Structure 1
Amino acid sequence: MKLTIVGCSGSFPGPQSPASCYLLSAEADGRTWRVLLDLGNGSLGALQRYMDLRQIDAVFLSHLHPDHCMDLCGLHVAVHWDPTGWNQPRIPVWGPVATADRMATAYGLELDPGMHEDFHFSSWTERTPVQVGPFTVTPFPVLHPVEEAYALRVEVSELNGDGVEEKRVLTYSGDTDACAGLVEAASASDIFLCEAAFHEGRDDAISGVHLTGRRAGEVATAASVKRLLLTHLPVWNDASVTVGEARSSYTGSLAVAVAGVSYTV
């Protein structure tokens, strides 16, 4: 499984990165499958550096804040108004119950048909896995001030160099503060792609919204993850401070997500 950081800027796009969007790809059934974790504002343009939009097999939304979902509106335009014709099935979109109506309202469409002609909307059921090609995606409820927010655990079974099938796991935190659901989602992950939007001493007294680097490290330690990849840093954050905070509570492999960089899970 390959992870490409399309966008990782926290809360709004920054000068070096769009907002949250992560491309996962894996081989199965003689082809490459490609799914997106979130499609935040500014990410649709950058995504086209890495793939043709017709190659999107599914979009998985962690929650409905604009920095995680709003470029679904742009994707609607790409699908609906392509003068050559889209000529592909509707794109599966998994997200909170309100996803279809929220996107239609954001674009000023009537709720019926809204964007249903372009996307096949399905709603998460917590801890119930969804299968798309080689990807098994399981949503876990987390702590963020919206009606529904999820961490997404993504599992893929692949052959290693010896021809033995192994399960690879990436967990994406979405937006959340520390909570039991996040630890459960991240348990023994190969990569824990975890937000760290707050700083100790500036934001640590704010609860139920975001993680600091220290709290992200504490979750990673509790979940026994193999690698912690910090993401969703706002433009006003110093990444070195965030890393220092995380290092105080996590001793494993640690890095900060950078737009345009790819990782093998």
Structure 2
Amino acid sequence: MQQIVFGNYLPGNSLIHRLNPVTKILAVLLLITWTLVANNWLNYGILGCALIVQISAARLSLSMMLHTIIPFLWLIGFTLLIQILFGTGGTIYFHWGVVKITSTGLVTAGLILVRFTLIIMEAALLTMTTSPNAIAAGIERLLQPLKRLKVPVSTIGMMISIALRFIPTLLTELQTIMDAQRSRGTNFNQGKLWERVRNIGTLIIPLLVASFRHADHLADALGASGYSVQAVRTSYRKFIWRPADTGSLGLVIVLGLLVLGTRGF
């Protein structure tokens, strides 16, 4: 099986796959909002159960979804470390200078970990069950009212589609560069902190060069195919709003009301 990374689209015919992309984009935005509003373990338990139901409806495995978190582990780890070492309130377990490990800091770090996990997996579920072209079409549909203000809605949709398409490409490119550096003796997991930062810094320039190379090739391909920003575009596939879309959004709204109603527990 191919390596699953954030941004990969997995074709399928599940209930989630068949939903209108506008529905899925709105649902993910609402679910992320509910996740940010949640403030206790009961809230996150409700949202976690809802996520498991979504994963099951999309016919995906939980382990596959957890794999999408790997590229963000450094950000999650850094955020948790700051919260654990400098949190205040509650019982103090360790205190040395400005470093203070407290019960409140540990609980807050746990909540932040769950929050990050839910948000990343909700976004990954969208990209796994919706093709980049469908996401671009959905965003373009949502931004349609802005056309009256001369906003280039079609161009924005194209840019988002391209950005989503190249997320897995650049992650694969990064892994290739890291493997090449390891073959030359670079170790990203050992050594002092400043040595690890320096080693990671050596990845920036090769990754930028690869990004510019991909952008140059894409520009050539668009030019060769006669792409023009001013051209009027039609869509081969028409997305229809169905009762399942109305029901899905309704369930997401009910879930949000449930989260808001249990914030005080």
Say whether the fold is shared (TM-score over 0.5).
no
Larger radius of gyration: 2
| Normalised-by-shorter TM-score class | under 0.3
Whose helix proportion is higher, 1 or 2? Answer: 2
TM-score (norm 2): 0.25
